[in-house]
Amino acid sequence: MEKKKGIVSEFKEFIMRGNVIDMAVGVIIGSTFTKIVTSLVNDIFMPVIGALFGGIDFNSLKYVIRPADEAAGIEEAAILYGSFIQNVVNFILVALVVFLIVKGINNLRRKKEEPAPAPEPAPAPEPSEEVKLLTEIRDALKK
């Protein structure tokens, strides 16, 4: 009769599986890497792009549907298309940065995995006098 495992021992077995630990490490590294890429895009690329477009801050672009009226307590109603543009540009830049990093890593892996080129085979040695004579005899017999 099989002994039933307790929930604690089942949980311990689940946690100790290699793929769960690998996944946890991947999530932690991924979230940290996300911060690096986001900082690269927001702090380095976006100021350059803003400067190219005359210092425009995309986040401030909007279409006001109804202006705010503080006296009446009405908040502004607006379509924030600049925020959307900013998010699209961020996505494209993040995707580009990740693509370039993965491409670089793949190139490094390929260089490590490529076997050394095979040495050129040595030229065949000149046949001996006996082999030449036997070849002539063979050719003469064929005629």
Tell me the domain boundaries of the chain. Answer: 7-117
Lowest average pLDDT, out of 32-46, 50-64, 93-107, 129-143, goes to 50-64
Q: How many CA atoms lie within 13 A of 70 on its CB side?
A: 0
Q: By the 8 A CB rule, do 76 and 67 touch?
A: yes
Structure tokens at 68: 């705010």
Tell me which residue has tokens 């927001």: 42
pLDDT at 114 over 80: no
- pLDDT tens per residue, range 121-137: 777 788 888 888 888 88
How many angstroms separate the CA atoms of 100 and 106, rounded? 10
How many angstroms separate the CA atoms of 38 and 44, rounded? 10
Superfamily of domain 7-117: Large-conductance mechanosensitive channel, MscL; domain 1 (1.10.1200.120)
0.85 exceeded by pTM: no
